[in-house]
Amino acid sequence: MENIIIDPTVYTGRPADCSGRLEKEIECYDFLDGLNISYISVDHLPANTIPACEQAEELLGVKICKNLFLCNRQQTDFYLLIMDGEKIFKTKDLSKQIGSSRLSFANADAMEKYLNITPGSVSVLGLLF
- Report DSSP letters for 83-123, one per residue: EETTSPP-HHHHHHHHT--S-EEPPHHHHHHHHS--TT---
Which CA distances in Å does 14 have to 40, 43, 110?
8, 12, 28
DSSP annotation of 67 reads E
Q: For residue 111, which of 97, 121, 98 has the smallest C-alpha distance?
A: 121
**pLDDT by residue (tens digit) across 1-59?**
566 788 899 999 999 999 999 999 999 999 999 999 999 999 988 888 888 888 889 99
Residues 60-77 have a mean pLDDT of 93
pTM, whole model, 2 decimals?
0.84
pLDDT given for residue 98 in this prediction: 92
